Structure 1
Amino acid sequence: MKARLDKLIILIAVCCCPLVVFSQYTLLGTVKNDKSLVMPETVVTLQQADSLVGMTLVDSKGRYKFTDLHKGKYTLSLSCPEYQPVEEIFDLTGDKRIVYVIYPVKNIQLKEVSIVADKSHLISHTANSDIFYLSAEARKKQNPYEALREIPKLVVNESDRSIKMVDGATPLILINGHKVNSGINSIDPKEVEAVEVINNPSARYLKDGVQCVVNIKMKQKTAAYQTYNMNTRHMIPVLFGYTGGYYELGNSKASLSLNASHFYFHHDDSEWNTIQQNTGYEKTAVSKKRSNISNPYVALNGDWICSPKDYLAMSAIYYHYSSKSEEEGGGILIQNKEREAYKSFVDNKSTSYVGSFNLYHKHTFHKSKTLETTLHLNMNGNDMKGIRKEEYPSLEYRNQYDFDNFRWSGGLELDYSFDWLGQNFDFGSYTRFLKDRIKQISAGYPTFYHREWSEYAYVSMNGNIKSSFFYMLSLGTDLIFKKAGEVKHDYSKLTAAVSGTYKFNGIHSVRLNYNLSNLSPEVMYLNPYNTSTDSLEVTRGNPFLMPARNHIFRFCYMYNQHGFYVEPFVKYRLSVDRIVPIGYTEDNIYTQTYKNTDTFRQLDAGINMNYNNQKWGGVGGNIGYDTHFYTHQHGKGSLYVNLNTYGHYKRLSWNLYGNYRPFSYGVNNKRKHYGSESELTVTWRVNKHLGIIGNMRYLLGTLGYDSTTHEGTYYNFSSGRMKDRSFCFSLGFNYYMQGKNFKYRNRKSLQSTESGIKL
């Protein structure tokens, strides 16, 4: 089956490559005022460099059109008596349609805000992505998280500084097509040109299993002086909080920036009830747990324009994460018809760190031919220490553990991009190595080593036929040489991404995607030694594991008009050799390990919806039904809902969101969820620099779950409630400042390729 799918992918690529394309393009669109009325006096001018390409008046329906245009950079200008002039610079790489809204001069307060064409109701489509534009109101926000709320496909959690897709997936964040390492805190919303949501990324990103990408496109930057911002938020009473700051200093040739943040949880309390059953015993437990988390982060970034054709950027990153938890409780153990009460105590400490250095170089041979080179070097570790005690009348169980884990890793990325016959081609490679060491000091196990060297190569082509059909073809292959303990694996895996989008007009579009990716097992799944501290359970990895292969098909219809965005979709996923936990019982001890199962299928159908109104805000969300099919099991389905609404009134703005998924499933596991991630955020903009923020989180009740595992004779039921994650109120502020006469140029931020080693 796998061989047939691979052959089908290659056949599709071969058949689609000779598509005939055109080298001359058309630019068209409409111009109306803020009341959707045509202004026949509007003059539309198109220039290329210092040359006038064309000039026209809009027709009776507000339309303009320029034909027989060649690829290149153009400047489009709009002029109408008593209306604010508009000017936009853009690259023309195919037929293009741009809709503008112009505003009366009398409604503009030039000292406070400069208003340009509002394109927030315009959504552009490519073969595998949708491009959204921020509204004028969103551009006034003091941080990017507030501004990005109105993008239909995103769920923004301002408290956690996180961005997710409406289906819960975590996207790779890019800025101007580049990976970022310090989040998006430093972004000024008014400098955002567009937000591109990529549902089916090319093979360039498939090596690491990336399934979605958010690319934030910033305006072209020509110079820099200084800018800084600070934001902080803390729960009342102080149980969790976040503080971050950013500073940049530079000139037209170089810049240096420092980004730092700290997130913490203090006395995060939870309660747990557990039942374990197997042949010959039953064990119940009730416990209370208190956790503390600290997560500081600092990144130093620099860049330098060496010459008109060469650009350098670097970053040095340090990330630290520490957690400590204490758990006290007790219960009853019934074994061989004997009943004993016991007391338990657990103390865990874990400290992780990541140090990373990244160097980037871009050489431009020609405006359509570039070579990018990126070097990554990473050093990270994890120390885990703890003790678990259970006191019975007849004995005392004691398990003290001490792990010392360490990883070296690095890589070299090469990417060459060029245009040919009106199409864009992209090919490159990624050479990566890593070396893991897991040393369990307390148990005396032999040190576990994991080494891996991989060579990944890819090629992509994307373009369009006329102005209606957009396509993307992408293939990659991964050669992997690894050794997990004494087990050696050398193999190759194919990746692929194919997308096609057909635009009926500016309102209706359809898209079909196919994606093939591989998910390699983490080192925690390969380590063959026991990592459990439970007296009745053993947890260990399997060094023979292979990567899982995921085939994803997605079809959607897209409607966009008058602020309404509607996207019904259906998605089918086939996972081959999926890594899942399995277990068996021996001498009344339940052992859990992992294996590559046969197949797993998932069918997901739903609808994404959003309405954006310039006068007050918007409302959006999605609803769907997700069904999992495991081997030799009936389908297990679950409803999910995500809703959000945002708005503004004068200096006040707000955002309310929540999600609901009552159940989730594994092969032998069912989990019932209580409460959910939900929050209400209200911001009062004191002035253009300072905003006061109030936040209420976990509005749908106390966070928790009931989990049931049943495998053979083994049964486990666990119920937990996060006592402090319910109706949490926090207060904070955001302060943003730029130096006078601040101008911009493109800047590269690099991302660490490591998230750290941890069991």
Structure 2
Amino acid sequence: MKLFRLIIFLLLASLSSYSQSEIRGTITDSSNTAIEFANVILTDKKNEIITGTVTDESGGFKLLVRDGNYKLSISYIGYTTIDKDLAINDNIKLDKIILTLSENNLDEVVIKGNKPLIERKIDRIVFNVDNSISALGGDGIDVLTVTPGIRVVNDKISMIGRSNMGVMINEKIINLSGDDLVTFIRNLNSDDIKRIEVITNPSAKYDAEGNGGLINIVTKKQRNDSYNWSITNSLSKSEKSIYRGGASFNYKKDKLTLASRIGYSKGSLEPFQKYVLTYPNYIWEEENNKRNYLNSIRGGLSVDYSISPKTNIGGEYSFSDSKPIVKSNNVSRIYSPSKVLDSLISNDSRIQQDTKNHSLNLYSTVKLDTLGTQINFNIDYLNYNKKINNTFFTNSFFSNGEIKPNSFFSANNLSDLDINIFSSKLDLILPTKWIDLEFGGKLTFTNNESDIAFFNNTSGISVLDPSKTNAFTYEENLQALYISGTKYFSNRVSLNVGLRGEFTQTQGVSKELNQTNTNDYFELFPSLYFNYVIKDYKILTFNYNRRINRPKYNNLNPFQFFTNSYNVTQGNPFLAPSFANNFELSYIYKNASYSSLYCNYTTNGVDQVTFVSPDSIIQNVIPTNFYNQIDVGIFQWYSFKLASFWENTIDASLFYSKTDSDIPSIVQGVDSWSSSINTNSSFVLDANQRFKAQLGFTYQSPSLSGSYKLSSFYQLTFGIKGSFFNKTLTAAINAYDILKTDEKTFTQVVNGIRQENFDYRDLRRIRFSMKYNFGKAIKSKKIKTSNEEEKKRL
């Protein structure tokens, strides 16, 4: 009954506010530079304040008032106040308001806006970095560690309640993943980050690909007529060592802005895996000792040029070249049900990879007026090439260690994956008197060439096996259109509704099988946000969207890739997309507490299934559409200070997951209640704020990972950081997984055979890192004046 009354109240409040009008405007100084944090106050004839706000980073403001006569006052420290009389009977767009310096202007004025720690915008949570001591003197990873709804564990960034996510810088997607993405973010100084925006359910203007959220890292504007360098080095020590180094350079003069980066990684890890398969008549236990060698270089260059105050053009090129090597020794022991050793199988392999990635983005931005009307155009090209050379040999032994006759087998498996993606995107932002509109479209053309070859080397002579060799071609074309509108009914009630349509055509051709698979489909992806400000410190938001997960390109080739003589990975050309419907009800309290109740429902889900049978020792891993999954959970994040030098963030979640299988006779459905907790404490150790310590703890109870049951795990971390030489040099020591407890076991039952996979990724380590920043102002005469989601599937 109370909920019903609340809904009726919100509807009445929305309807009653239609008589209100909207006042929009933009404030700049005499050099056409936007003024942020300017005060905008509206008073009536009695000089009583009716409403007010402060300008955003673009100098814009918006007020909602009832029709009538008012006085608008614009003020900012060091500038002359401007008053305007307004007669309001309809929505109004004011001409650009230019503030001039006051004759009594101070020689130097330092302005610091007192923004709350967290805010709510219509489609995102905003974390204001300057208000957090946890981010003081750190890097981008330090900031994400304390951002509400975000988890950073073992340099892996994730979003609570989401299976994956993307990262943007100033609304442009970062075309990096894994270690490259973490290294890029770690090279960002926290002092250069203005805010973090967490988008749990992206709206219709974003690509529908991927059942995940988005993080938008908004940086502070680079100082005009200046350049700066940043040089980083780190050494991580676990069982083995990994060195990472890099440098970045930024330059801004007049209308030109340049940014470049280069990075290098080299070293190795020693992960350990153990598999136990319980067959009806025997038990298979396999230990896999690996050594992963890393060797990669990456870089990028971006250019932005202001043709005029309203038009910018630019581009970005990025590349990576990685040549990892994986050496492994697998020992499989076959036992009777009573644990009597029957035989052993030894497999040694060397997997050599060569992965190259080149991407190019060209863009233009045209602002058509001072009120936000804007056209954005992007063209993107990506080339991704991955070559794998896997050489392995296998021997079988009796229980006494004697080799079995004729059991030796040796082979060489080669694969070559080449992907080319071209896309173009056009977006239009159109504020109107009644509603703020965004609409646009995107075209994407993908070509994927995948070749696999198998050579039998057992006789000492390399012989091609045509039955295990194939050439596969896959083409995918996509056309998308979207429209999104935001309506502010009042200062307290707002609504965003969007709809995106995507038409996809695919064709896969297997040369050796003489098989062609085509699939054409059109899908709609709606999104909705409803925002209600109960009071200034109480904000309630409901949001919904629908998403799609298309198959990864390398999962579509139907032929087999042998990791060893009895473990085979095989693609599936019949893979279809999976879909997700995501719901969230969130609540912000006093700008320091964030609560979320969420529900995600996935249909036609894809998972890697290890198909086994009692009659064969072959383990065939095939990606398969076979399950529907529902996740329901509650999440709570809270930030508080125990002292001026001691800040804490803590988040906890309780959730239920259930996976229903479409093939229960082969893979059974599973369900689980689970919980997690994550804490981070930051300590400023000196009065000058040059030294800081951090202590972190993460715990995850048993849960589900797709169709697998996942064991509990936890991790303790500690770090200390210091700044030297006027904060130009930063040095840090961090310890990860101190107790060596971040060990995971995945369990699944296939054809009545229980599979247990134990996995430890060599996570306990100490990392030593240093960063040196330097720059200089440039003397200058003042002059007044779209393939991103596809990359996740690689």
* TM-score range for the pair, normalised by the shorter chain length: 0.7 to 0.9
SS of 1:447 mapped into structure 2: strand
Partner of 1:391: 395
Q: Give the Cα separation in 2 of the matches to 1:417 and 1:484.
A: 37
Partner of 1:556: 586
Q: Give the Cα separation in 2 of the matches to 1:338 and 1:191.
A: 61
Q: Give the Cα separation in 2 of the matches to 1:540 and 1:597.
A: 16
User: Could you tell me which amino acid in structure 1 is paired with residue 525 of structure 2?
Assistant: T
Structure 1 unaligned residues grouped into runs of 5+:
1-15, 28-46, 57-62, 80-84, 96-109
User: Could you tell me which amino acid in structure 2 is paired with residue 645 of structure 1?
Assistant: S
SS of 1:406 mapped into structure 2: strand
Report how far residue 371 of structure 1 moved. Answer: 1.1
Q: Quick one: structure 1 residues 277 and 69, their matched pair in 2 at CA, closer, same or farther if it must change by over 3 Å?
A: closer
Q: Does 1:128 align with 2:112?
A: no
Contact 1:494 1:517 in 2 (8 A): no
Q: Quick one: structure 1 residues 68 and 484, their matched pair in 2 at CA, closer, same or farther if it must change by over 3 Å?
A: closer
Report how far residue 520 of structure 1 moved. Answer: 0.5
Contact 1:142 1:736 in 2 (8 A): no
Q: Does 1:404 align with 2:440?
A: no
Q: Give the Cα separation in 2 of the matches to 1:398 and 1:220.
A: 58
- After superposition, the C-alpha distances for 1:316-340 in whole angstroms (9 at most, x for unaligned) are 1111223212122434336999933
Q: Greater shift after overlay, 440-449 or 267-276? A: 267-276
Partner of 1:240: 242
Partner of 1:154: 150
Partner of 1:30: none
Report how far residue 201 of structure 1 moved. Answer: 1.7
More relative contact order, 1 or 2 (CA 8 Å, 6+ apart): 1
Q: Does 1:573 align with 2:600?
A: yes
Contact 1:185 1:246 in 2 (8 A): no
Partner of 1:40: none
Q: Quick one: structure 1 residues 171 and 405, their matched pair in 2 at CA, closer, same or farther if it must change by over 3 Å?
A: closer
Q: Give the Cα separation in 1 of the matches to 2:81 and 2:386.
A: 50
Q: Give the Cα separation in 1 of the matches to 2:40 and 2:712.
A: 61
Contact 1:628 1:636 in 2 (8 A): yes
Matched ranges for 1:77-96 at <5 A: 77=75
- After superposition, the C-alpha distances for 1:298-319 in whole angstroms (9 at most, x for unaligned) are 1011111123332111111111
Q: Does 1:585 align with 2:581?
A: no
Q: Give the Cα separation in 2 of the matches to 1:324 and 1:87.
A: 66
Q: Does 1:440 align with 2:438?
A: no
Partner of 2:400: none
User: Could you tell me which amino acid in structure 1 is paired with residue 171 of structure 2?
Assistant: G
Partner of 2:258: 256
Q: Greater shift after overlay, 145-154 or 296-305? A: 145-154
Q: Quick one: structure 1 residues 753 and 410, their matched pair in 2 at CA, closer, same or farther if it must change by over 3 Å?
A: farther
Contact 1:142 1:688 in 2 (8 A): no
SS of 2:225 mapped into structure 1: coil
Q: Quick one: structure 1 residues 185 and 725, their matched pair in 2 at CA, closer, same or farther if it must change by over 3 Å?
A: closer
Q: Give the Cα separation in 2 of the matches to 1:87 and 1:232.
A: 48
Q: Give the Cα separation in 1 of the matches to 2:137 and 2:787.
A: 26
Q: Give the Cα separation in 2 of the matches to 1:617 and 1:118.
A: 22
Out of 655, 659, 682, the position equivalent to 1:626 is: 655
Partner of 1:730: 767
Partner of 1:43: none
Q: Greater shift after overlay, 538-547 or 210-219? A: 210-219
SS of 2:747 mapped into structure 1: strand
Q: Quick one: structure 1 residues 738 and 396, their matched pair in 2 at CA, closer, same or farther if it must change by over 3 Å?
A: same
Q: Quick one: structure 1 residues 142 and 697, their matched pair in 2 at CA, closer, same or farther if it must change by over 3 Å?
A: closer
Q: Give the Cα separation in 1 of the matches to 2:737 and 2:209.
A: 32
Matched ranges for 1:586-601 at <5 A: 587-588=615-616, 589-597=618-626, 599-601=628-630
Partner of 1:459: 483
TM normalised by structure 1 equals 0.80
User: Could you tell me which amino acid in structure 2 is paired with residue 178 of structure 1?
Assistant: K
Report how far residue 65 of structure 1 moved. Answer: 5.9
Q: Give the Cα separation in 2 of the matches to 1:586 and 1:483.
A: 36
Partner of 1:341: 344
SS of 2:333 mapped into structure 1: strand
Contact 1:405 1:757 in 2 (8 A): no
Q: Give the Cα separation in 2 of the matches to 1:652 and 1:378.
A: 42
Q: Does 1:708 align with 2:712?
A: no
Q: Quick one: structure 1 residues 481 and 731, their matched pair in 2 at CA, closer, same or farther if it must change by over 3 Å?
A: same
- After superposition, the C-alpha distances for 1:679-704 in whole angstroms (9 at most, x for unaligned) are 43433444221112111122242543
Q: Quick one: structure 1 residues 320 and 664, their matched pair in 2 at CA, closer, same or farther if it must change by over 3 Å?
A: farther
Partner of 1:609: 638
Report how far residue 66 of structure 1 moved. Answer: 4.9
Q: Greater shift after overlay, 303-312 or 507-516? A: 303-312
Q: Give the Cα separation in 2 of the matches to 1:279 and 1:68.
A: 71
Q: Give the Cα separation in 2 of the matches to 1:287 and 1:140.
A: 42
Structure 2 unaligned residues grouped into runs of 5+:
1-13, 26-33, 62-72, 83-90, 94-106, 177-183, 397-403, 455-464, 510-515, 662-668
Contact 2:373 2:430 in 1 (8 A): yes
Matched ranges for 1:242-391 at <5 A: 242-264=244-266, 266-278=267-279, 281-333=282-334, 339-367=342-370, 368-391=372-395
Q: Greater shift after overlay, 394-403 or 281-290? A: 281-290
Q: Give the Cα separation in 1 of the matches to 2:202 and 2:295.
A: 34
Partner of 1:470: 494
Q: Quick one: structure 1 residues 487 and 19, their matched pair in 2 at CA, closer, same or farther if it must change by over 3 Å?
A: farther
Contact 2:39 2:74 in 1 (8 A): no
Contact 2:555 2:571 in 1 (8 A): yes
User: Could you tell me which amino acid in structure 2 is paired with residue 696 of structure 1?
Assistant: A
Q: Give the Cα separation in 2 of the matches to 1:282 and 1:350.
A: 33
Partner of 1:655: 694
Contact 1:226 1:738 in 2 (8 A): yes
SS of 2:224 mapped into structure 1: coil
Q: Give the Cα separation in 2 of the matches to 1:439 and 1:732.
A: 41
Q: Does 1:177 align with 2:214?
A: no
Q: Quick one: structure 1 residues 221 and 18, their matched pair in 2 at CA, closer, same or farther if it must change by over 3 Å?
A: farther
Partner of 1:542: 572
Contact 1:498 1:513 in 2 (8 A): yes
User: Could you tell me which amino acid in structure 2 is paired with residue 424 of structure 1?
Assistant: D
Q: Greater shift after overlay, 177-186 or 303-312? A: 177-186
User: Could you tell me which amino acid in structure 1 is paired with residue 172 of structure 2?
Assistant: H
Contact 1:383 1:404 in 2 (8 A): yes
Q: Quick one: structure 1 residues 154 and 628, their matched pair in 2 at CA, closer, same or farther if it must change by over 3 Å?
A: closer
Q: Give the Cα separation in 2 of the matches to 1:370 and 1:18.
A: 31
Report how far residue 147 of structure 1 moved. Answer: 4.8
Q: Greater shift after overlay, 669-678 or 198-207? A: 669-678
Report how far residue 732 of structure 1 moved. Answer: 2.1
User: Could you tell me which amino acid in structure 2 is paired with residue 573 of structure 1?
Assistant: N
Q: Quick one: structure 1 residues 343 and 150, their matched pair in 2 at CA, closer, same or farther if it must change by over 3 Å?
A: closer
Q: Quick one: structure 1 residues 751 and 303, their matched pair in 2 at CA, closer, same or farther if it must change by over 3 Å?
A: farther
Report how far residue 557 of structure 1 moved. Answer: 2.0
- After superposition, the C-alpha distances for 1:644-689 in whole angstroms (9 at most, x for unaligned) are 1223233111223232223332565323254547443433444221
Q: Give the Cα separation in 2 of the matches to 1:142 and 1:558.
A: 26
Matched ranges for 1:693-704 at <5 A: 693-704=732-743
SS of 1:207 mapped into structure 2: coil
Q: Give the Cα separation in 2 of the matches to 1:232 and 1:740.
A: 25
RMSD value, Cα: 3.9
Q: Give the Cα separation in 2 of the matches to 1:459 and 1:399.
A: 54
Q: Give the Cα separation in 2 of the matches to 1:398 and 1:361.
A: 55
Share of identical aligned residues, percent?
Answer: 15
Report how far residue 707 of structure 1 moved. Answer: 2.6
Partner of 1:116: 111
- After superposition, the C-alpha distances for 1:177-229 in whole angstroms (9 at most, x for unaligned) are 33345844665544544332222221122322263222333445673331111
Partner of 2:680: 644
Contact 2:164 2:210 in 1 (8 A): no
Contact 1:163 1:170 in 2 (8 A): no
Out of 415, 426, 435, the position equivalent to 1:414 is: 426
